Amino acid sequence: MPKCFKIVQVGSVEKTADGPLIRMEPAYAEAMDGLEGYSHLAVFYWFHENDTPALRGVLQVHPRRNPNNPLTGVFATHAPLRPNLIALTYCQVIRIDGLVIHVDEIDARDGSPVIDIKPYIPIDKLNNAVIRLPKWV
């Protein structure tokens, strides 16, 4: 039997008229210390709208929902249907105001639970990014 893990929500995605943002939970304010030193973030979020046993059981899809594409295993696609509904996207930080991280764009839907954030560091090989790093890196 597969192991189960507990994942907690650390924030949520909001799509506003002023642009997208990530609103962090107050319990994780200290975890944000130093984040302003980075230009880009890796944001892990939960595909919450697909969180049903049936949708988690889908193991093959037509990529980009195009039936002309071959049936492909979900681990070889970016499909939101997966056994574990973890999504990853990269964002450029516009600014940070307290618990709110303003980003240039994010492919998560409004209300998506954020489960982790990591700073982008050049070894991650994000192409064409203008990188800003704290001096200690």
| pLDDT greater than 80 at residue 26 | yes
Other CB atoms within a 10 A radius of the CB of residue 133 amount to 14
Please report the pLDDT score of residue 136 as a whole number: 41
Tell me whether strands 19-24 and 11-16 are parallel, antiparallel or unpaired.
Answer: antiparallel
Is the CB of residue 3 less than 8 Å from the CB of residue 95? no
SS3 19: strand
d(CA 7, CA 11): 12
Tens digit of pLDDT for each residue in 73-90? 999 888 889 999 999 999
Place of tokens 């984040």: 35
